[in-house]
């Protein structure tokens, strides 16, 4: 089992370009697994973890309702945003500057074959990272992602998640609001959940900006502990 993970920070990159790149890596792992099964080739599969920041974009998961996007095509253009229906789970979400997006593309056969556990580990990575900033983040029953003040009238989401998996290979991932422009969330019903607010780490800490590289380091530290893995840096 290969527990090494190739880490790539793509910087700021268009959503569709990144999606295509994810699909390419995802297909490469699947092809290796199929070859192993058919030919007993014994080849190791490669694991990847992509960090990226997207220009303003709204994405709708396969179980989502397009009515949760509250903008027309013209209004999207006015806001400099794009919209895509994509092949992850979940409903609608927003990605944009000031948000850390992580796409683990893993062969779970190298770790554990349990999607529920995989999602809980991603949530735990976020919870442990936010704890380092003095925030008590939690899961909200029946709602994937990470929240603050769960069970109160002030519940607010700080991290959205949505994944796709096939033959135990994952893609898509999480979006953590660090220095995000929260106004863009006003144009959707986030994750199809009415009446719940969205927040960002800088808002919670009362800071103009939070060091995103520092947050990434903390995320990776907790990821390696949870998944008992090692990162191998690779230039994208």
The CA-based diameter of the chain, rounded to the nearest angstrom, is 57
0.75 exceeded by pTM: yes
174 is in an annotated binding site: yes
Q: Which CATH number fits domain 4-233: 2.115.10.20, 3.30.930.10, 2.30.290.10, 3.30.2130.30?
A: 3.30.930.10
From the list 125, 191, 219, 220, the catalytic residue is 191
Nearest alpha carbon to residue 101 among 216, 235, 236, 218:
216
Nearest alpha carbon to residue 198 among 157, 140, 139:
157
129 is in an annotated binding site: no
**Is residue 146 within 8 Å of residue 138, measured between CB atoms?**
yes
93 is in an annotated binding site: yes
Structure confidence by residue, pLDDT tens digits, 103-116: 999 999 999 999 99
SS3 8: strand
Q: Which uninterrupted H or E stretch holds 3?
A: none
Q: Is 191 a catalytic site residue?
A: yes
Locate 52 and state its tokens: 């990226």
Structure confidence by residue, pLDDT tens digits, 2-52: 999 999 999 999 999 999 999 999 999 999 999 999 999 999 999 999 999
Region 87-108: mean pLDDT is 93
Please, which residues have CB within 8 angstroms of residue 70's CB and are 6 or more apart in sequence? Answer: 186, 187, 188, 189
134 is in an annotated binding site: no
């Amino acid at each position: 089992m290969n527990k090494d993970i190739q880490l790539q920070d793509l910087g700021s990159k268009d959503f569709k370009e990144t999606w295509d790149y994810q699909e390419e890596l995802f297909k490469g792992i699947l092809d290796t697994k199929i070859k192993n099964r058919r030919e007993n080739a014994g080849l190791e599969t490669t694991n990847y973890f992509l960090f990226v920041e997207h220009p303003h974009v709204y994405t709708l998961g396969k179980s989502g309702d397009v009515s949760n996007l509250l903008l027309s095509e013209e209004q999207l253009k006015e806001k400099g945003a794009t919209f895509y229906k994509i092949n992850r789970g979940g409903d609608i979400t927003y990605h944009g500057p000031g948000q850390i997006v992580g796409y683990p593309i893993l062969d779970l056969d190298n770790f554990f074959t349990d999607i529920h556990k995989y999602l809980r580990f991603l949530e735990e990575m976020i919870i442990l990272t936010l704890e380092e900033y003095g925030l008590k983040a939690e899961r909200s029953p029946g709602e994937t992602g990470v929240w603050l003040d769960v069970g109160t009238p002030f519940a607010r989401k700080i991290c959205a998640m949505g994944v796709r998996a096939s033959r135990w290979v994952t893609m898509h991932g999480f979006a953590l609001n660090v220095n995000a422009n929260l106004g863009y969330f006003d144009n959707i019903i986030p994750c199809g959940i009415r009446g719940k607010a969205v927040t960002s780490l800088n808002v919670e800490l009362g800071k103009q900006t939070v060091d995103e590289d520092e947050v990434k380091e903390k995320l990776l530290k907790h990821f390696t502990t949870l998944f008992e893995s090692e990162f191998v840096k690779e230039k994208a």
